[in-house]
Structure 1
Amino acid sequence: MATALPPSSRALYFRLLTYVRPYWRVLAGGLVATSLAAATEPMFPALLKPLLDNGFASDTGYKPLTVAAMIIGIFVLRGGVSFLASYAMSWVQNRIITDIRQEIFARFMRLPAGYFNQNPSAQLITKVTYDVNNIAGATTTVGTVLIRDSLVVVGLLGWLLYINWQLTLITLLVGPLIAIFTRLLAKRLRTMSRATQLGMSVMTETLQEAISCQKIIKVFRGETQEEERFARVNHALRGYGMRQGIAAAATTPAVHLIASFAVAIVVYIAMVQSQQGQTTVGSFVSFITAMLMLLAPIKQLANVNAPLQTGLAAAESIFRVLDETPEADLGQTVLARAKGRIELDRLHFRYPKAERDALDGISLDIAPGQTVALVGTSGGGKTTLANLIPRFYTPTAGRLLIDGHDAQDITLASLREQIAIVSQEIVLFNDTVAANIAYGISRNAPRDAIEAAAASANALDFIRALPEGFDTLIGENGSRLSGGQRQRIAIARAILKDAPILILDEATSALDNESERQVQAALETLMQGRTTIVIAHRLSTIERADRIVVLQHGRIVESGAHRDLLAQDGVYAQLYKLQFSEPGGNHA
């Protein structure tokens, strides 16, 4: 039988039940139907006693047609209420799955960027696609089994006590033995459930990488390597499943074995009592029938540990996400439209577990409408600095001000409304061209505004040449478009948003010369009248920037206009000479 939960598991289970509360009426109806179904269980053995005692041996017994009708009626009633109970529980279970998935997704949308850096996306996806299903089973299926089969056991035991209380006491000895056995299995089931969840996330990660990196796999002939990698994950998951299955499968034969001793003893004593005239044939058959009918609900109660432990393990995983602290948004200042002044005052930032600061005392004043380029070797802090402006991360020390307001004092929503980003890693959605341009706060933009943004981004011609124009589905992350086309759609999205602050992160580094020319022209249109932070490895693209800031090891080592920095013959000049001395450097 199901064992009592330890305090920690009990608290976990009660927290799960809070998701049932909005649907308590439907659940209550299902439980009533479940109770009625359970109440029909003792009816059949109760019918056997008078039937055997009187029906076959006396002319005053039940009429055959009446007995047949009663049997059919019992099973029709049981089938009807069982259907209603199953439907109600299924309805509640699916609503719970929907609610928890929605809550997890909403929490994902509000977690800081650092969380996603520390947790593989495959693990997060697995929580939504796999773990939630196990939780729903624990909240409804387990509860249904506990209530229904407990009532069945109580009803059958009540009838057994009425028929022969001495034999019933022997039957009751089975319960504690089964409870002890199932408690021993519970810990094993929980451990294997956790391992299975981890294995599922690793498998999802392996699949995700194999699909997204399939071109590299083919070119480098890595098919066999990936197949072997997947086989290791697959067989590990099979092992977890088998260990979990063994623990669950051992329950039924163990319960039957324990119960068989009780049945054997009861049959022996009942036969002795019958020979001594202490019981009737009807009582004996009714007792044995009711006792055998006890095996099914006892088995269900014993087996409930498997989905219960699986559900609790899944709940631990899910609640860890739901208990994560969302992005801090304590700001009270709401910016209508920023002028675009950005000030960095002795700004420091260090990533978790890092040995040194990624930004070390950065001070910088960017005037409204000014274009500032950040350059330097990889790891110098360029992207980190850009990520602090929309508050993807919080500075370790120092201040970042927008129009004189500390960014920490500005509401996240109004701060990010002031910023548009175009990066090297273009992010597009598997939707239409129009939906990708008019995204987020711009999603209700009229078609003429969308087309105007596309025209400004030099994207109108190729969009109109697509099969369905602006209504063409572009595939996963724009897979049906070229790199330059994806980049120009991203620029059109930024143009439509019309934010006063613009961040360009390596926006042209992955393009061929012709695409770069078109994208660069679109970027120049986008940058007009906006405060722009440009991160670029191709130094030729930022020669006309108002100021170029050179970062090394998180510090500003040089700052000035292109010509001035070349004249200083310092770090920037060395980077410039090195880049243009490379083959094809004149296109850097």
Structure 2
Amino acid sequence: MIVPALWREARAFPRALSVSVLLLLLVFATHLVQAGALALSLAAFIGGDLRGALLGGAAILGAGLLHLLLAPAQAAAAAALGGRVRERLRRRAVTAALVPRHLHDSARRDGSIQATLGDGVDGTDAYVSRYIPAVAQLAIGSLIAVTLLAVVSPAAAVCASAGVLLAVFGPMAWKRMLARRSGEHWDGYEALSSDMLETLRAMATLRMLGDVAGTRTLLHDRSEALRRATERVMRSSLAETAVTDFAVQAGYVAAVFVAVIDVMTGSSTAVEVYLILLLASEAFRPVRDLSRSWHAGFLGLTAVPGLAALGAFDSSPARTESAPRAENTGTPPGRADVLQVSGLSFRYPDAAYDVLHDVDLRVERGAVHAIVGASGSGKSTLFDLLLGFLTPSSGTIDLDGRPLRPADVAVVSQRPVLFAGTIRENVDLFGADDAELDAACAAAGILDEIRALPGGFDTPVAEAGASLSGGQRQRLALARALLARRPVLLVDEPTSALDDRGALTVAETLERVAADRIVVMISHRPEALDRVTEVRVLHEGTLRKAPA
């Protein structure tokens, strides 16, 4: 079954695709050589020609050794092709997931995106690395085998050709049914993945609410729905396989029947009869390989609609215009003087009014600038615009007279993200030395606590930082942002999970940091604002200076 989107992705790497196909055809050629050599060797053996039999055996051995060299090389080339396509798809899908339409789509679930970016992208590998080269092998290899067979016996070649055509086109009706049912299968897989992820995240809450039994029932129902969808897919797949096997067996039996007639009539020599039997079998080898590759790549096919919906196959300019600003891979400048926001407005898709309207903001290095406002006033939206996660409806964001780039900005969110690993791996993403790491953690007020741990910086951190307190997670995130050495630091509620002493430490840290960076903070805690001289209020989408 041809999936144009995946074929386009494979053609984006013509050299890797060509090498994989060429090596697969050479591997197939070794089978043809072995078939011919075996036919000659058998005929010589029956005719009492020992020398001919030995020469044929040597040819078989030589082709076998060549096959042992070519097969691993082809597998490596195919894996390289699949890996490059996977990387390209995942990069596009991750970028597409950050466009405003997806970031603020209440119907899109994290588990669904996780399944698509993980298993969905990985599932395309078998189709790209195995099925696409197998199609080329079928088109070229079977044609070569049938042509060689026609030289020996035109009648046997007709039988083999009919079998190959039936094996390829006969299952088309089942493949179309399989494609329809694959959508149901992937939808069920995404739904179960989403429910499972949400359940794991909320296990403690579910226990407190006493809803563990209800959640267990929901997961059971999802699992049963996926099982039924899988069984429907398997039934269609078995029917398709049955048609393919029938065509292969029928075509080969017909060719054998032609060989038997030739033997009975004496119209073919012994070597020709053996060639008919062996070449007819080889003519169907690409069909069998294609069938195996189809089933191996089926998971990737079921994920194609999800990948397409996410935008993994879309490289049009329209997509990139609505995506976040492209990351600049160069080293960001260590210091900047002025962040200027001019006439900034933003409206979410299908919203009736602007969340932000004609916002002007000038932030200079040297002091901490705070933005306050009621929940829903647009503070997080403003940060998303500064980070490049959203594209403004109008207005500009400049840093020292040039457009602000994501590489210019470090952020400490209210709910910082930590990963399974060590404290060092979570904080030092930038290749800092020990002195720089100590200085950043000291500035964030977390160094003494790290040193008190048995493993120090090598202490393991559980997934999502579950082994740490909220205050420890926030201060580690602050240390990580400081190590980024980016000229703009955005801080969202930096003291929300800290006690008064910790909040004072962070406030003092931000004051020191502001000497070298532009610091913008969102906060509601009075103790966090006491030391801030530049406070602005965001109200109903407009920004104004706070009253003295």
Q: TM-score range by the shorter chain?
A: 0.7 to 0.9
2:418 equivalent among 428, 432, 442: 428
2:405 equivalent among 412, 415, 423: 412
DSSP-derived class of the 2:503 partner? helix
Aligned counterpart, 1:581: none
- Is 1:520–2:504 an aligned residue pair? yes
Q: Which amino acid counterpart does residue 154 of structure 2 have in structure 1?
A: W
Task: Assess if the C-alpha contact under 8 Å between 2:178 and 2:233 holds in 1.
Answer: yes
DSSP-derived class of the 2:494 partner? coil
Q: Distance in 1 between matches of 2:68 and 2:264?
A: 44
- Is 1:456–2:443 an aligned residue pair? yes
Q: Distance in 2 between matches of 1:266 and 1:230?
A: 53
> Which residues of structure 2 form unaligned runs of 5+?
none
Alignment of 1:161-560 (within 5 A): 161-166=150-155, 168-258=157-247, 287=276, 291=280, 297-301=286-290, 305-306=294-295, 320-321=311-312, 323=315, 324-325=319-320, 326-329=323-326, 337-340=335-338, 342-403=339-400, 405=401, 409-410=402-403, 412=405, 416-417=407-408, 419-440=409-430, 443-444=431-432, 446-497=433-484, 501-511=488-498, 515-528=499-512, 529=514, 531-556=518-543, 559-560=545-546
**1:420-444 superposed Cα distances (whole Å, 9 cap, x missing partner):** 432220223334434444434xx33
Cα distance 1:172–1:313, how it changes in 2: closer, same or farther (>3 A)?
same
Cα distance 1:425–1:98, how it changes in 2: closer, same or farther (>3 A)?
same
Q: Distance in 2 between matches of 1:72 and 1:228?
A: 64
What percentage of residue pairs aligned between the two structures are identical?
A: 22
Task: Assess if the C-alpha contact under 8 Å between 1:329 and 1:411 holds in 2.
Answer: no
DSSP-derived class of the 1:389 partner? helix
2:80 equivalent among 61, 78, 95: 95
DSSP-derived class of the 1:504 partner? strand
1:135 equivalent among 103, 117, 124: 124
Q: Distance in 2 between matches of 1:258 and 1:107?
A: 41
Tell me by how many angstroms 1:221 deviates.
3.0
Q: Distance in 1 between matches of 2:212 and 2:533?
A: 49
Alignment of 1:97-116 (within 5 A): 97-104=82-89, 106-107=91-92, 112=98, 114=100, 115-116=102-103
Q: Which amino acid counterpart does residue 483 of structure 1 have in structure 2?
A: G
Q: Distance in 1 between matches of 2:19 and 2:157?
A: 37
DSSP-derived class of the 2:461 partner? coil
DSSP-derived class of the 1:373 partner? strand
Please, which moves more after superposition, 522-531 or 162-171?
162-171
2:33 equivalent among 39, 60, 78: 39
Task: Assess if the C-alpha contact under 8 Å between 2:370 and 2:523 holds in 1.
Answer: yes
Tell me by how many angstroms 1:381 deviates.
1.0
Task: Assess if the C-alpha contact under 8 Å between 1:457 and 1:488 holds in 2.
Answer: yes
Cα distance 1:265–1:431, how it changes in 2: closer, same or farther (>3 A)?
closer
TM-score, L = length of structure 1: 0.75
Task: Assess if the C-alpha contact under 8 Å between 1:38 and 1:148 holds in 2.
Answer: no
Task: Assess if the C-alpha contact under 8 Å between 1:145 and 1:301 holds in 2.
Answer: yes
> Which residues of structure 1 form unaligned runs of 5+?
565-588
Cα distance 1:516–1:392, how it changes in 2: closer, same or farther (>3 A)?
farther
DSSP-derived class of the 1:224 partner? helix
Task: Assess if the C-alpha contact under 8 Å between 1:505 and 1:534 holds in 2.
Answer: yes
Task: Assess if the C-alpha contact under 8 Å between 1:33 and 1:84 holds in 2.
Answer: no
Task: Assess if the C-alpha contact under 8 Å between 1:386 and 1:533 holds in 2.
Answer: no
Cα distance 1:220–1:97, how it changes in 2: closer, same or farther (>3 A)?
farther
Task: Assess if the C-alpha contact under 8 Å between 1:457 and 1:519 holds in 2.
Answer: no
TM-score, L = length of structure 2: 0.80
Task: Assess if the C-alpha contact under 8 Å between 1:195 and 1:240 holds in 2.
Answer: yes
Task: Assess if the C-alpha contact under 8 Å between 1:30 and 1:88 holds in 2.
Answer: no
Q: Distance in 2 between matches of 1:213 and 1:346?
A: 41
Cα distance 1:174–1:22, how it changes in 2: closer, same or farther (>3 A)?
closer
Cα distance 1:264–1:343, how it changes in 2: closer, same or farther (>3 A)?
closer
DSSP-derived class of the 1:131 partner? helix
Task: Assess if the C-alpha contact under 8 Å between 2:19 and 2:77 holds in 1.
Answer: no
Cα distance 1:426–1:45, how it changes in 2: closer, same or farther (>3 A)?
same
Aligned residues: 531
Structure 1 vs Structure 2 CA RMSD: 4.0
DSSP-derived class of the 1:86 partner? helix
- Is 1:18–2:18 an aligned residue pair? no
Tell me by how many angstroms 1:543 deviates.
4.2
Task: Assess if the C-alpha contact under 8 Å between 1:388 and 1:394 holds in 2.
Answer: yes
Alignment of 1:116-155 (within 5 A): 116-118=103-105, 120-146=109-135, 148=137, 153-154=142-143
Tell me by how many angstroms 1:395 deviates.
2.0
**1:283-321 superposed Cα distances (whole Å, 9 cap, x missing partner):** 667645655665555444455554567656656765732
Q: Distance in 2 between matches of 1:465 and 1:536?
A: 30
Q: Distance in 2 between matches of 1:552 and 1:169?
A: 80
Task: Assess if the C-alpha contact under 8 Å between 1:20 and 1:96 holds in 2.
Answer: no
DSSP-derived class of the 2:450 partner? helix
Tell me by how many angstroms 1:464 deviates.
1.0
Q: Distance in 2 between matches of 1:388 and 1:253?
A: 56
Task: Assess if the C-alpha contact under 8 Å between 2:127 and 2:294 holds in 1.
Answer: no
Task: Assess if the C-alpha contact under 8 Å between 1:41 and 1:155 holds in 2.
Answer: no
Cα distance 1:479–1:163, how it changes in 2: closer, same or farther (>3 A)?
same
Tell me by how many angstroms 1:379 deviates.
0.8
